[in-house]
Amino acid sequence: LFLKIQGGYYRDTNVNQPEDAAGSAKVQKFIEALRPDEVRPVSTFVGMGEARGIFEVTRLLASRGVALTLRQSNEVSWEDLKGRHVIFFGGRKYNPQIPLLPYKPTFEAMNRRIVNLEPGKGEPAEYRTASVTPFGELTAEYALISVYPGITPHTRLLTLDCSSTEGTLAAAEFLTREDMVGQLIARGVPLKPERGKFRAFQVVVGARFNKGVVVGLSYVTHRVLEAAEGGHPSPAP
């Protein structure tokens, strides 16, 4: 979400719904300083990582004859998810459906880190972004790949989740490289259905960057998830 203000654009990265702008001290301070005649919310921008990631995944699926449809996540309803395989690109702040999915996650992508909500013995509690300066060019990032059964039978829902656009690209590159997927198979990640049912799982991947380009990818860890009580998502209010 950006706010268009007198020919310019302003973004508070913590504000992603128009109704939340009034509660942002940063947004209100900016508006008070400019005193514009009009402030208009717009959602017409996408990160380069999401755009390039969509290209990589589309190229792979289209080569196998898959019919694809592209939608903005803020326009997607629960009805749209029925009877389809779905891929969400970008973090949960861009995809409001993700927190409502009927699975308790083990990992969550937050600001500049992947948090391990249930660390095992010897595991870190989080995997943190590295950059040249505190908010400068990224040198290393972690991203989260989550796969769930869809809300209707025989479908799956995939999220490529990271707080940075570079991390989203890294997740997409990981999934579209045969050698990286081979690592998941070797570690027993349940990519195929078991007894006719898909298992939910999450994979943490690591990436190294040079000038915004992914120059290294690695498997970090994964978890197989169990369905939350009830087994169905709660529609957004």
Are the C-beta atoms of residues 143 and 109 closer than 8 Å to each other? yes
Tens of pLDDT, residue by residue over 66-95, are 999 999 887 888 898 899 999 999 877 778
Mean pLDDT of 192-221: 92
pLDDT category, 237, cuts 50, 70, 90? very low
pLDDT averaged over every residue in the chain: 88
Give percent above pLDDT 70 in the chain. Answer: 95
The answer to whether residue 229 scores a pLDDT higher than 60 is no
Q: What is the pTM of this model?
A: 0.86
User: Dihedral sign, CA of 14, 144, 221, 225?
Assistant: positive
pLDDT category, 227, cuts 50, 70, 90? low
Separation between Cα atoms, residue 87 and residue 172, nearest integer Å: 11
What the block records as the tokens of 145 is 């790949």
Residue 191 per-residue DSSP state: -
Tens of pLDDT, residue by residue over 147-206, are 998 888 888 999 999 989 999 999 999 999 999 999 999 999 999 888 878 889 999 999
